[in-house]
């Protein structure tokens, strides 16, 4: 949809719980000093959020699902699913860079879906299921771009995927004027959905089971200090696999 044809949306933000259903941390800022924010979109946000809040080490402070990179302020779920907002379903991750590197989050992002599927993921089709990475600072942008190039080479070498990576990379600042924010929270029903009683065990993400190349092979020379903090043993045991996150325990993973 074009901006001129997008739904107008609403002035009132969607109300959500004050605290995360699993982590019991605040769902909205202001965030504690030192925390950083990134927004990741890789298809069905139910499973994406669960995979991210389960990352070990206490580095993920809070997660939330919502709608990102669109034209419509405060869209509802039904409005986003209509394809008339320009939004994609996304996860906002608040993380402590002293405990978890953005590189760890990016590895989970790339390995937990098929970033070559364009406007969709699995059986879920439409612009609201497109893959995207959204940054708030220059270091994040550079790591996202470098990781995208590295994973693209890994996919080509393995013969996996449907073609070139279609993931979009955009700055949060692009959305400051219209619609006003990069990310708008989805309804409370969707927050930490897969951890709640009666949840439908569903996630359309299509992990290709291709490992992210070692950081030292693709890291920008002046950003090597942002190396991953999760050990390779974690990835060997817990790497994303099709539908694995749906039936996984709700609590964060504990490292051996």
Catalytic residues: 44
SS3 (DSSP) at 146:
helix
The Cα 147–Cα 240 span in angstroms is 17
Alpha carbon of 67 to those of 16, 47, 123, 205: distances in Å? Answer: 14, 15, 19, 17
* Nearest Cα residue to 165 out of 175, 155, 173, 174: 155
The Cα 205–Cα 246 span in angstroms is 10
User: In whole angstroms, what separates CA 194 from the centre of its chain?
Assistant: 16
- Residue 36's DSSP bridge partners are 95
* Nearest Cα residue to 37 out of 22, 45, 27: 27
Helix orientation angle between 45-53 and 102-111, rounded to the nearest 10 degrees: 140
| Residue 204 dihedral angles phi and psi, to the nearest 5° | -90, 0
Q: Hey, what are 241's tokens?
A: 């696999």
User: DSSP letter at 101?
Assistant: -
């Amino acid at each position: 949809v074009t901006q001129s044809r997008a739904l107008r949306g609403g002035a009132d933000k969607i109300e959500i719980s004050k605290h995360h259903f699993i982590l019991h941390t605040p769902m909205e800022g202001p965030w504690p000093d030192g925390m950083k924010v990134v927004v990741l979109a890789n298809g069905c946000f139910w499973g994406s959020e669960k995979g991210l809040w389960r990352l070990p080490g206490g580095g993920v402070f809070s997660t939330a699902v919502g709608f990102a990179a669109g034209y419509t302020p405060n869209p509802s779920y039904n409005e986003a699913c209509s394809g008339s907002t320009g939004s994609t379903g996304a996860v906002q991750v608040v993380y402590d860079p002293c405990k978890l590197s953005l590189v760890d989050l990016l590895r989970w992002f790339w390995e937990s879906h098929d970033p070559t599927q364009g406007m969709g993921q699995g059986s879920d089709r439409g612009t609201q299921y497109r893959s995207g990475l959204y940054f708030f600072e220059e270091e994040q942008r550079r790591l996202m771009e470098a990781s995208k190039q590295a994973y693209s080479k890994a996919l080509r070498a393995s013969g996996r995927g449907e073609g070139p990576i279609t993931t979009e990379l955009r700055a949060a600042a692009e959305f400051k004027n219209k619609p006003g924010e990069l990310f708008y929270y989805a309804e409370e029903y969707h927050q930490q959905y897969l951890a709640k009683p009666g949840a439908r065990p569903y996630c359309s993400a299509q992990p290709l089971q291709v490992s992210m190349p070692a950081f030292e092979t693709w890291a920008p020379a002046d950003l090597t200090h942002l190396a991953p903090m999760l050990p390779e043993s974690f990835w060997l045991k817990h790497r994303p696999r099709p539908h694995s996150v749906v039936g996984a325990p709700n609590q964060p993973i504990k490292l051996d």
